[in-house]
Amino acid sequence: MKILHTSDWHIGKQLHKYDLADDLNLFFDWLIPYIKTEVIDVLLVSGDIFDQANPSQSAFKQYYDVLRQLVQLDCKLIITGGNHDSAAVLNAPKELLNAFDITVIGGATETLSELFVDVEKNGERLVVAAVPFLKDRDIRKSVAGETYATKIEQIKAGLQIYFSTINTHYQNHYSDGFFVVMGHLFVQGSSVSESERDIQIGNQAGVEASMFQGIPDYVALGHIHKPQAISEEEHIHYCGSPISLSFSEKEDEKQVNVITLKDNQLQRLEIVPIPKPRNLVAFEGSLEEVQQQMIRYDQETPLLSLAEIIVNEETESLERRQAFEAFVSEQPNARLQIVKSRLSFSTKIRGASDAFAVGTDVADVTPMQMFEKKLELQVELENTEELKAAFRDILQELNL
* Residue (193 or 341) nearer to Mn ion, CB: 193
β partners of residue 130: 182
Stretch that binds Mn ion, among 5-13, 67-75, 229-237, 260-268 (CB under 5 A): 5-13
Q: Min. distance of Cβ 44 from Mn ion in angstroms? A: 15
Closest Cα partner for 116 from 46, 165, 193, 169? 169
* Residue (48 or 313) nearer to Mn ion, CB: 48
* Residue (8 or 136) nearer to Mn ion, CB: 8
* Residue (2 or 237) nearer to Mn ion, CB: 237
Reduce the DSSP state of residue 62 to 3 states and report it. Answer: helix
Q: Min. distance of Cβ 79 from Mn ion in angstroms? A: 14
**Is the separation of the CB atoms in 246 and 193 below 8 Å?**
yes
Stretch that binds Mn ion, among 44-52, 116-124, 276-284, 299-307 (CB under 5 A): 44-52
Q: Min. distance of Cβ 400 from Mn ion in angstroms? A: 14
How many C-beta neighbours within 10 Å does residue 400 have?
12
Closest Cα partner for 227 from 216, 215, 211, 243? 243
Q: Min. distance of Cβ 385 from Mn ion in angstroms? A: 29
**Is the separation of the CB atoms in 163 and 185 below 8 Å?**
no
Q: Min. distance of Cβ 279 from Mn ion in angstroms? A: 21
Closest Cα partner for 80 from 69, 71, 91? 91
Q: Min. distance of Cβ 176 from Mn ion in angstroms? A: 33
Q: Can residue 252 be called a binding residue for Mn ion (CB under 5 A)?
A: no
* Residue (8 or 198) nearer to Mn ion, CB: 8
Which helix or strand (DSSP H or E) is residue 139 part of?
helix 136-139
Touching Mn ion, residues 46-65 (CB under 5 A):
48
Stretch that binds Mn ion, among 43-51, 55-63, 303-311, 362-370 (CB under 5 A): 43-51
* Residue (177 or 240) nearer to Mn ion, CB: 240
Whole-angstrom Cα distance, residue 174 to residue 171?
Answer: 6
Q: Can residue 8 be called a binding residue for Mn ion (CB under 5 A)?
A: yes
Residue of minimal Cβ distance to Mn ion? 48
CB neighbour burial string for 295-331, b if at least 16 within 10 angstroms, e if fewer: eebeeeeebbbbbbbbbbbeebeeebeebbeebbeee
* Residue (6 or 167) nearer to Mn ion, CB: 6
Q: Min. distance of Cβ 196 from Mn ion in angstroms? A: 6
Whole-angstrom Cα distance, residue 15 to residue 23?
Answer: 11
Q: Can residue 249 be called a binding residue for Mn ion (CB under 5 A)?
A: no
Cα atoms found within 13 Å of the Cα of residue 70, Cβ hemisphere only: 26
**Is the separation of the CB atoms in 12 and 58 below 8 Å?**
yes
Reduce the DSSP state of residue 264 to 3 states and report it. Answer: coil
Number of residues that bind Mn ion (CB under 5 A): 2
Q: Min. distance of Cβ 243 from Mn ion in angstroms? A: 11
* Residue (133 or 324) nearer to Mn ion, CB: 133
Whole-angstrom Cα distance, residue 224 to residue 208?
Answer: 15
* Residue (24 or 119) nearer to Mn ion, CB: 24
Whole-angstrom Cα distance, residue 126 to residue 323?
Answer: 61
Binding site for Mn ion (CB under 5 A): 8, 48
